[in-house]
Homo-oligomer: A and B are copies of this chain.
Amino acid sequence: MEKIKVHIVGDIVLSKKIGKGLKKWREIFNISQIEIARYLNLSPSVISDYEAGRRKNPGVNTIKRYVDSLIELDKRNGGHTIKALQKILNPSSMEPILQIKEYKSPIKIVDFLNAIEGELPINYQNNNINKTQNTQEIDERLKAQIFGHTVVDSVKAILEMNGQDFLNLYGWTTERALIFTNVSTGRSPMVAIRVSSIKPRLVVFQGVSYLDRLAVKLAEIENIPLIITKLSVDELLDRLKNSFD
């Protein structure tokens, strides 16, 4: 919110014509001069004077109060303009999460892999794109530890979650497995991880019909081990529920 305000104010102050800058943002927020005047307890002609550039060097308080009014009035209108920011501040439904668990002690990825009958994708093992991805290095990374897991229905997640929601997948640590069920190709979940700022330690796909090449490549770029399991959703949830305690 504050960051957006800094950008709006900075943009207006640096406009070649301050008045036009004010008007531009008022139009973006879809608010009338009369509404702003009422909010600020000013005559409507004052707002028109501002936007017409009657004064060549308005004071900074004028700009601040004008921008404040845009934001507050937008809020009152259940405002779309700052809706994305409001979404960030108010987490929405967690329904796409099927199971989330923090472990009492860290678990090695190789043990996790065994518990869910997971396997590395075939072309992951034979990949020549990243020459460092040899057997020895994969073994090294499978020795890494995780502290929890989150199971997500990937279809629901992609449809219902936004950036902030994505952060909520991580519990208290990102050192965890992120498990996507009903995946199909795997591209969408991996793209979502790609654009997210926070990365899991391990990604597991359940329900793969055809593993997408870009998904594999993105996993490599992110340096995240990618595992496939052929268990059903119920069986997977059961195994996870009764393990790692």
| Chain A residues within CB distance 8 Å of chain B | 2, 5-11, 13-14, 18, 24, 27-28, 56-64, 84-85, 87-88, 106, 147, 158-159, 161-164, 166, 172-175, 187-188, 191-192, 194-199, 214, 217-218, 221
Contacts and interface: CB of A to CB of B under 8 A. Distances in A.
Nearest to A173: B28
A13 B64 contact: yes
A50 B55 CA distance: 21
Contacts of A147: 24, 28
The DSSP consensus for interface residues of chain A is helix
Contacts of A199: 84
A200 B162 CA distance: 14
A137 B159 CA distance: 22
Number of copies: 2
Contact of A63 (B60, B84, B191, B214): B60
24 contacts: A6-B7, A6-B11, A7-B172, A9-B10, A9-B14, A13-B13, A13-B60, A13-B64, A24-B147, A28-B173, A58-B59, A60-B63, A87-B197, A159-B221, A162-B197, A163-B163, A163-B196, A163-B197, A187-B188, A188-B214, A191-B192, A192-B194, A192-B195, A195-B195
Nearest to A221: B159
A58 to B, nearest CB: 6
A189 to B, nearest CB: 9
A52 to B, nearest CB: 16
Given A9-B13, A84-B198, A163-B163, 19 more contacts: A6-B11, A9-B9, A9-B10, A14-B64, A27-B106, A28-B173, A56-B61, A57-B59, A57-B60, A57-B62, A158-B195, A158-B214, A159-B218, A161-B195, A162-B194, A162-B196, A163-B195, A163-B196, A195-B196
Contacts of A85: 197
Nearest to A159: B221
B195 A162 contact: yes
Contacts of A87: 197
A113 to B, nearest CB: 21
A216 B6 CA distance: 34
